[in-house]
Amino acid sequence: MTSARPSGDDLWASAAANLSEEDRCNISFGHPDKLGVLSDLLTLTEKSRQECISKRWRYTRKSGETVIFRDLFGKIVKSIDLFKQVGDVAVQYDPVHAALPWAGVRFLLQIAVNDHATYATLIEGAALMAEMICRYAVFEDLYLRSTSLATDELKRALIQLYAAIMIYLSKAKRYFDQNSAKRIIKSGVLNAPDLESSLDSITTAQVAVDHCSGLVSMQDDVERHKELKRILKHIDAPLKRFEEDFKKVQDNLEASRRTKILCWVSPEPYSQHHQQAWKDVLSGTGNWLLSDLVFDKWKKESVSSILWLHGIPGSGKTKLASIVIEDAMQAFRAGQSPPPAFFYCSRNTAEPARSNPDAIIASIVRQLSCLQPDFPLLGPVVATYRKREAEGFASGPLRIDESTALIIQLTEQYPMTTIVIDALDECDPETRTDLLETLEKILKESSRLVKIFVSSRDDQDIVCHLEDYPNLGISSDRNMDDITSFVRVETQDLIKKKKLLRSSTNKEELKEMIIDQVTKGANGMFRWASLQLQSLSEQKSDEAIRERIGRLPAKLEDLYMELYEKFTKYEAEADRQITRIALSWLLCAQRTLKSTEFLAALSITLGRPSSSLTKEAVLDMCCNLVTFDASLDTFRFAHLSVREFLEKQPDYKSTIVNTLAAETCLLELISVGNDTATKRFLSQQRQLLPRTSPILNDFSTYPALYWATHCQLAAGERTQDVLKGLIPFFLSCESDPASPLAVWTSRIQNLLVDDLLVDGIEGQLFHRLHDTIAASAIPLFIACSFDFPELVPNQISRGILQANFVNSQRLTALHVAVKHSSCGAILALITNGFIEITENVVEAATGNERSGKEVVTLLLDQRGDDVRITDNVVKAAARNRGDDVHITDDVVKAAAGNMQSGKEVIALLLDRRGDNVHITDDVVKAAALNGGSGKEVMALLLDQRGDDVRITEDVLKAAAWNRESGKEVMTLLLDRRGVDVHITDDLIKAAAENALSGKEVMTLLLDRRGDNVHITDDVVKAAALNGGSGKEVMALLLDQRGDDVRITEDVLKAAAWNRGSGKEVITLLLDRRGDDVHITDDVVKAAAGNMQSGKEVIALLLDRRGDDVHITDDVVKAAAGNVRSGKEVMALLLDRRGDDVHITDNVVKAAAGNER
């Protein structure tokens, strides 16, 4: 029996009546105008939110999580707006009842925004209170329309919750009513235990309310509740974190140039990888993850954090990651948040980039570079590309530290950034710490909200890194429903295709038995279930199926072993060979092979026409171990666990499968030789391949590029069996233009200049191949590039001087071996007393970023006590063992500048020859300028040789100019040697010039040594000319030292000439200091001559200060002579100010001299 709810119940008043007298007095926040407090609160919140945006407010919890203030204030605004809607919709609810708690929220914010750094948790508390007031206003009208035992319980729970909220507000009020001295003694509200316990009480009371609401029947009058339910749904939904203005970003780039920039950043086909992962996801699966409280909190909280999903092999981590990506994509399509950036890692020799942290983070940069693939690019990426382009891309692709800095800049452009990385465990174990540390750095240094979702197995190094972050383990109880759905759908599909229970007389009974038993035995592993169903499909009778179900192998590895034994027992030798060769190629291929290439490779290896092999035949013979990726037209292992199983089998060891591939590649290369010796050799080998089938041409490029890599990976097998004869023959007859080696040499030179191919060749391989190009001694350079030590003695014996020949890069064989860490070849060379060890060779060893320590150790060990380390720059090496290794100051300098392993190499030199290693000013400067490991190298020098480390002005300028780690190096010097750090004008100028981290370095100097920092005209000019971070540095100077910033003509000319960010700097100056910006003829001339962004800067000046822009002859001449963008500038001038453009003789001459 129920009755209508009495009108006008004020549960807040009832809650207040339950408080102590002291608490009731404390919550009298002074709000005589009732809901007028909402208007005041909204004004305060919006003002604070804007201040958060401009000042990038954030704070770090004791747990290490970063809270973003602007997001918290956005949640409060959302709660206020929805609360107003409740007042418009609710029949019984009187919004005046909640005026008191709203006043409390306002009180918390008024305190906190005045000192956000100290009282940050109060802002979190205010956001929580605002959401609860709004949420439970809906509950009151939605669930308390009638009375019953259930509604009475809910009402009591609501009153307890409201009382808990008011007690929290009372304690906060009491705390801040104390005098300042007492608050200082109590160390601030952040550590006040009574407030923390009050928040715990609120959480407990909230759980009780939500439980009671579930007991209240809501089936009556559903339509009447429709609008309230909509509001409640919006309250529970994530905050909208997307700004429509973001879609209006322009880059003024042609589509082709935009694509070129994106491909330079990262060529990885991330979208196709997602399609492959997502295509087989069953509808409705993965909901347990999306609805999990830990995931929901990670997704909705105003906290930058990592959520780690972990589980055993085959438990569906990749599918779940794809579901998270699709969920984020759906939010983007709904206009709720920007699209996610994501990456699917993979341990696959054919796709090395998918396990390389540099490539993984570069792909994230690419995706964050624009809102969608066909949208304009954001400024930081364009600026970086233009700078690299101006340098001729001499420094190669983006390194992980550069990509990290770009991501931090790009996150500033988004209200929220979501990054998803699947299969961290498949990233290279030697380098994945770099990836984990990068993700943490992005979290800590981004001032906007960053959400990172990662999945992996429970590898120990990953566990140690991520165990303190929010995490979800995949267990059989969590994904049981998904396993059941998967098994049911797969079983029904197999039956429908007549692959399972084809002749059964008890189909329905056996179908349910299969579903039940496979689901129970899966223990959370989809992969296990899939293989079991395949095994059951091979059974011919109902009895066989029942027997198989009764003895299902419990382990995934046992299932693989069954399949492995099945392959080895195929009746036909041809089938056994095809299966073995297909699996071998998948294990060792060095790049993704298109289906035609893959089938051609198999055909060559088998020595048969390719037409006899089909995609379907290969998939059938390899059973469920291999799948076909239609999006990228390639074969793949069905799961990483397949690769891992095969790698443990003797027949599929790395050396064995690479030997097979090397033989195939060499036979293909040798078969193109048209000389008598080659024909005779192939005849003797009985391996003369028919070249009539055109499909073989699909594979012709791969052998040319990768034969040597496969030979290198074959290791000791090179000197056994077939390879023992193939390699020496291929490297013979160097001088015969018809020989296989001569044909290959000519072809590789052409391939290495083919833009379409070069982009797909991994950088290290490109340099190895490039270093084999030489006028003579090509076999020796091949042996040194790819580390074939067994070939070196024979090559040297043919002519002692060959060892000192140089290749097309002017490098000796030893230099090439050292450069590529070919330790076997190094040893074979340096044991010969006639081999010269030049200073350049030793510098290459210490500068070797991959294995410098190992190479230097080898050199030192082999020369023993006879190694002489001097300070003199030795131009030529002596020929006797006593004088051949010279560790000069330049060598130490090269080691100090080594961005990857500088610390390790310097430590080795100090340990082995410390007394003779001099720490010169140039060495310290190189460490200060080292963008990768500069901080670590500098710390090592200070620790071990502190008395020799002089902190000169040049050292400080190098640190200030260090783009990647300048802030860290400068902080170290200030902390360790502060008295030696003298702040000069040139030092500040160097900081202002820093293209990547200028703002961070300048902020550090202003914070730590502000009184010594003089903002001279040269400093302002340097900031204006900074093509990377000029806008940010200039904004910082205007914010903190605006009175010292003079906007001179030279400053404006520098900004107008700024190729990377000139438009942005001038826009900032016009907005902030418009009255001081005088557009002179020389300023316009500088803009017209800007080779990268001249058109954009001129357009800005015309738009904002058109009356001040005079189109003089010098301006037109500058535009005509502009090599890069003169055409666009001239077109703009003619279009906008055609009457003022005079084509003089000087203009014609300038245009004639313009190569464009």
Q: How far is CA 841 from CA 404, 808, 877, in A?
A: 32, 16, 10
Distance from C-alpha of 1116 to C-alpha of 718, rounded to nearest angstrom: 67
For domain 252-474, the question of CATH label 3.40.50.300 is answered with: yes
Task: Give the burial class of 676: count Cβ atoms within 10 A of its Cβ; 0-12 exposed, 13-18 middle, 19 or more buried.
Answer: exposed
Contacts for 870-874 with beta carbons within 8 Å, 24 or more apart? Answer: 870/916, 871/918, 873/839, 874/839
Dihedral sign, Cα of residue 857, residue 862, residue 864, residue 866: negative
Contact between 871 and 904 under an 8 Å Cβ cutoff? The reply is: no
When pLDDT is averaged across residues 1024-1047 and rounded to a whole number, the result is 94
Q: How far is CA 918 from CA 891, 927, 946, 973, in A?
A: 11, 14, 12, 20
Distance from C-alpha of 628 to C-alpha of 635, rounded to nearest angstrom: 5
Beta strands 341-344 and 3-4: pairing type? unpaired
Lowest mean per-residue pLDDT among 84-88, 512-516, 544-548? 84-88
Task: Pull the structure tokens for residue 838.
Answer: 């030049």
Instruction: Catalogue the E-assigned strands of 3-71.
Output: 3-4, 58-60, 66-68
**Cα angle: 1034, vertex 1038, 1039; to 5 degrees:** 115
**pLDDT on residue 998:** 93
Could you give the percent of the chain with pLDDT greater than 90? 46
When pLDDT is averaged across residues 19-26 and rounded to a whole number, the result is 80
Written as one letter, the residue type at 1087 is: A
Which residues does residue 416 pair with via DSSP β-bridges, in sequence order?
449
**pLDDT on residue 221:** 44
When pLDDT is averaged across residues 598-604 and rounded to a whole number, the result is 89
Greater confidence, 89 or 662? Answer: 662
Distance from C-alpha of 972 to C-alpha of 427, rounded to nearest angstrom: 31
**Percentage helix, strand, coil for the chain under 3-state DSSP, each rounded to 5:** 65, 5, 30
Contact between 57 and 48 under an 8 Å Cβ cutoff? The reply is: no
Distance from C-alpha of 849 to C-alpha of 434, rounded to nearest angstrom: 15
HEC readout, 758-786 = HCCCCHHHHHHHHCCCCCCCHHHHHHHHH
Contact between 870 and 888 under an 8 Å Cβ cutoff? The reply is: yes
Closest CA to 620 of 578, 652, 659, 558: 578
Size of the chain, expressed as the number of residues it contains: 1156
When pLDDT is averaged across residues 191-211 and rounded to a whole number, the result is 73
Beta strands 146-147 and 3-4: pairing type? antiparallel
Average pLDDT, the chain: 83
Identify the helix (H) or strand (E) that includes residue 1036: helix 1030-1041
Contact between 606 and 618 under an 8 Å Cβ cutoff? The reply is: no
Instruction: Catalogue the E-assigned strands of 673-725.
Output: none
**pLDDT on residue 1141:** 84
Dump pLDDT digits (tens) for 731-752. 988 778 888 999 999 999 988 8
Contact between 738 and 675 under an 8 Å Cβ cutoff? The reply is: yes
What is the three-class DSSP state of 871? coil
Lowest mean per-residue pLDDT among 66-80, 298-312, 1007-1021, 1034-1048? 66-80
Lowest mean per-residue pLDDT among 107-121, 701-715, 1069-1083? 107-121
Output the pTM of the full model: 0.69
Distance from C-alpha of 458 to C-alpha of 473, rounded to nearest angstrom: 9
Lowest mean per-residue pLDDT among 438-442, 606-610, 683-687? 683-687
Could you give the percent of the chain with pLDDT greater than 70? 83
**pLDDT on residue 320:** 96
Identify the helix (H) or strand (E) that includes residue 419: strand 416-422
Task: Pull the structure tokens for residue 1115.
Answer: 């301006």
Q: What are the residues whose beta carbons fall under 8 Å from the beta carbon of 540, sequence distance 6 or more?
A: 503
What end-to-end distance do the CA atoms of the chain give, in Å?
89
Q: Looking at the predicted structure, is the pLDDT value of residue 222 above 90?
A: no
What is the three-class DSSP state of 421? strand
Dump pLDDT digits (tens) for 450-469. 999 999 999 999 999 999 89
Backbone angles phi, psi at 551, to 5 degrees: -135, 45
Contact between 670 and 681 under an 8 Å Cβ cutoff? The reply is: yes
Contacts for 120-125 with beta carbons within 8 Å, 24 or more apart? Answer: 120/59, 120/67, 120/69, 120/190, 121/189, 121/190, 121/195, 122/172, 122/189, 123/69, 123/72, 123/73, 124/67, 124/72, 124/302, 125/168, 125/172, 125/195, 125/199
**pLDDT on residue 1153:** 61
832 confidence band (pLDDT: 50, 70, 90): confident
Distance from C-alpha of 773 to C-alpha of 742, rounded to nearest angstrom: 11
Distance from C-alpha of 493 to C-alpha of 489, rounded to nearest angstrom: 6
1017 CB neighbour count, 10 Å cutoff:
15
Distance from C-alpha of 166 to C-alpha of 14, rounded to nearest angstrom: 12
Greater confidence, 868 or 768? Answer: 768
Which residues does residue 634 pair with via DSSP β-bridges, in sequence order?
594, 629
**pLDDT on residue 238:** 57
**pLDDT on residue 983:** 95
When pLDDT is averaged across residues 458-485 and rounded to a whole number, the result is 91
Q: Which residue's structure tokens are 């605006």? A: 1042
Lowest mean per-residue pLDDT among 113-127, 248-262, 812-826, 1062-1076? 113-127
When pLDDT is averaged across residues 1026-1040 and rounded to a whole number, the result is 94
**pLDDT on residue 894:** 76
DSSP assignment letter at 671: T
The stretches of 914-1016 forming alpha helices (DSSP H) are 921-929, 934-945, 953-961, 966-977, 985-993, 998-1009
Distance from C-alpha of 213 to C-alpha of 245, rounded to nearest angstrom: 40
Q: Determine the longest span between alpha carbons in the chain, in angstroms.
A: 109
Identify the helix (H) or strand (E) that includes residue 635: strand 634-637
DSSP assignment letter at 188: -
**pLDDT on residue 228:** 55
Quick one: fold of 952-1152? 1.25.40
Dump pLDDT digits (tens) for 326-373. 999 999 998 888 999 999 999 999 999 999 999 999 999 999 999 888
